[in-house]
Amino acid sequence: MGSLRRVVHLVTALNGSANLRHIDMSRFFSRRPPPPFSPSSMAVVTEESSLPEPSMSFYPAPAPPESKGDIGVMLFGRARDRLLVAGQSVSAAIYDAATHALLAETTPLKPKYWPVSVPVGDDIYLFDLYPRVPCGCRHCFEAVTAVVDSSSSSSSYCSRALPPPPFLFAPGYSPKPIESYTVVGGSEVWISTARAGTYTFDTVSCSWSKQADWPMPFAGLAEYVPEHKLWFGLSSSRRDKHPLCAVDLAAAAAASPETGPELTNVWMELSVPREWIPVEAFLVHLGSSRFFVARFFQELVEVRCDFSQRFDRFAVFTGVELERTSRGELRMIKHKSERYSIAHNVLCHSVGY
């Protein structure tokens, strides 16, 4: 698979702890190129598989009684096997998934209720999905960076508080989720909310600016794919069940700060039956125009006499590939899908490289 990412990390949560699993990508891609995508290839997946056993489990350290939220496990940028493990206590650890070793400890300045990260270079930019500015504390946004000791070539990690997004201080602001985020130009972190639009944080000057009145059309993280000069992510459209989409963000922002980009490249790799209730979805760029799509669902299977309900939970993982046609248009090639049963009390926290 050349420079393709061979393993994707899956983090699931159970009773406050977090389990790390490694998903082998070779099982989702055919050795021979499959035929071009067609509606018939969206058929409901029937092949059942089992999730691999966790390679590591993380348990929360004691935290103040008023703290809420779960452990967050987030990936660094170029050091793609290194993960930041942060909970509601003041401590956090760096874990190397390749060597199964805890490398270092760092201290986030403020616990996050729902920590989300954007990898930039070798660093992580960390924010709360529901940012707020409580009295006397503005540490909802921070960076965790590696500091290399030139004499020993070893690395330590430190965190530093960063200025929060300006819209937090707008009159009448109430906490709303950050709906999409990405990196532009290798050094700018873009974040969007439905009401505030899109803001840019320059990691060099450590300053914020308003980029556009419109929010980016993604749900969660979008990634830049240089061979196509486009940003790829899952669409924010719940009605369409968050299909894969691609947008030229830089061109859209330059053309019209008031009107959002038009989605012309949209693909859905899976036919989702009406009874499948979407819970969460993730897209991971593996390199060389290949992507891993992880969708999590629940399905009502029983209504009891007391009107309580029982749901089955499961995931569908799919490997897809994007290529240019002879006319220069992008098209999707679907490789393989598998379905995985998941315990009813297990939640997916993140899927990443």
If one compares 197 and 110, the residue with the highest pLDDT of the two is 197
For residues 205 and 223, the answer to whether their CB atoms sit within 8 Å is no
Question: Residue 135: is its pLDDT beyond 60?
Answer: no
Over pLDDT 90: what percentage of the chain? 40
Domains recognised in the chain with CATH numbers: 7-352 (2.120.10)
Token readout for 228 is 């196509």
pLDDT tens-digit profile of 10-69?
Answer: 988 877 788 899 999 999 998 776 666 666 556 556 678 889 999 988 887 666 555 555
Which are the contacts of 38, defined by CB distance < 8 A and separation ≥ 6? none
Tell me, what's the pLDDT at 303? Answer: 72
Highest mean pLDDT among 43-47, 160-164, 238-242, 313-317: 313-317
- Between the alpha carbon of residue 218 and those of residues 123, 221, 335, the distances in Å are 23, 7, 23
pTM: 0.88
If we measure between CA atoms, which residue out of 79, 76, 82 comes closest to residue 144? 76
Question: Which residue, chain included where needed, has tokens 């929360």?
Answer: 60
Burial label for 47, CB within 10 Å (0-12, 13-18, 19+), is exposed
**Beta-ladder partners of 334:** 320
Task: Count other C-beta atoms under 10 Å from residue 351's C-beta.
Answer: 23
Rounded CA gap, 239 and 285, in Å?
A: 24
Question: Residue 108: is its pLDDT beyond 70?
Answer: no
**pLDDT average, residue stretch 218-230:** 94
